[in-house]
Chains A and B, each alone.
Chain A
């Protein structure tokens, strides 16, 4: 393959990485974990870009590092396919649909939010969003808190967050340190 061909095929690959992640970004409502089956379907089953094992490894890392899981997974898959350039293309594709839709909403929202009908919509939807979050606490709590000790730490952190109004970063740092203190010693 001469140089022009290789540039051309690289461009084509970048374009399809962008398209795939744009699609994923546009069609996953609610974000986060809802995205994973969709990403897997596209990059593992349909395109066969990476193997199932590599994908699982990538997810494990994406979940353990900070940041939205969609962004982390896009970085991982993009990098696997086309290096740093691929990572940037994939992330751009994934965040463009939410960015555009929120930008459009933000531009017009200030005009609409004073309408009674919009305010009443939010008055009805806000309690439902709280119900959604409470439900998430139950689901994530069930799967994440396996031991009595973890449950107690959760309650203490919750107390610190709500009543002493500690910074969320401090809660994260405290529990990371406790993880090291109580963790396995190789």
Chain B
């Protein structure tokens, strides 16, 4: 029963994962943290950070992590496959009439319409990560602002910034 729930939850996330990457976060948070209570806010934050530090799309990483937590190795496989299933099926359907899809006016209007949603979803992800305990005190705020400034002014790899911030955390919070 729990495996079926896992399948349905992640298939739904896969089906509505527009915009890729961070835009998927609110969807995962809503289902996993708020509705199904499979993750705490803190764990959600950890999953996001771990995803960034390991290879692969965040949706896959979250699916594998949550799936394992809820249903062991089988659970992680089911969650991972189910998050991929809707996109794979949709791509296989659309490649049959690729040209017509690309030039279709309805498709274009919907895609343009989705742009504000993608931006709003990513912004709301940032907001809820702050609210969920991502920044709780002044040291954290300083690390966040410093990371942001470095990110915007230097061409430094984001992963490197994450690792440095983590090491800074180890040094200043002991």
B and A form one assembly: yes
Q: What 0/1 pattern do residues 137 to 159 of A give for CB contact below 8 A with B? A: 11011001100001101110110
User: In the complex, how many angstroms separate the beta carbon of B34 from the nearest chain A beta carbon?
Assistant: 8
Nearest CB of chain A from residue B153's CB, rounded to whole Å? 11
> Are A122 and B54 within 8 A (Cβ)?
no
Which of the residues B22, B94, B130, B166 comes within 8 Å of A124, measured between beta carbons?
A: B166
Bitwise, B20-38 to A at CB < 8 A (1) or not (0) is 1110111100100000000
CA distance A44 to B14 in the complex (A): 27
Q: How far is the CA of A119 from the CA of B147 in the complex (A)?
A: 19
Q: How far is the CA of A80 from the CA of B100 in the complex (A)?
A: 17
B167 contacts A107, C-beta separation under 8 Å: no
Residues on A with C-beta less than 8 A from B122 are 133, 136-137, 140
Any A CB within 8 A of the CB of B155: no
The answer to whether residues A179 and B102 also contact, given A66-B86, A79-B91, A120-B173 and a CB cut-off of 8 A, is no
Evaluate contact between B169 and A125: CB separation under 8 angstroms.
yes
Among candidates A98, A135, A144, A178, residue contacting B54 with C-beta atoms closer than 8 Å:
A98
Question: How many B residues, CB 8 Å from partner?
Answer: 103
Which of B20, B26, B98, B169 contacts A120, CB < 8 Å? B169
CA distance A180 to B105 in the complex (A): 9
Kindly report which residue of chain B lies nearest to residue A84, judged by CB atoms.
B92
**Is A1 part of the contact surface with B, judged by Cβ < 8 Å?**
no
Any A CB within 8 A of the CB of B5: no
Interface residues, chain A, CB within 8 Å of chain B?
25-33, 57, 60-72, 75-76, 79-80, 84, 87-88, 91, 95, 97-99, 101-103, 105-107, 109, 113, 116-117, 119-138, 140-141, 144-145, 150-151, 153-155, 157-158, 161-162, 167-169, 171-172, 174-180, 182-186
25 contacts between A and B (CB under 8 A): A25-B56, A31-B56, A61-B98, A64-B107, A65-B94, A66-B90, A67-B84, A75-B91, A91-B84, A95-B60, A99-B76, A103-B68, A107-B68, A124-B165, A126-B49, A128-B165, A128-B166, A129-B52, A136-B21, A151-B116, A157-B116, A162-B128, A167-B30, A168-B27, A179-B109
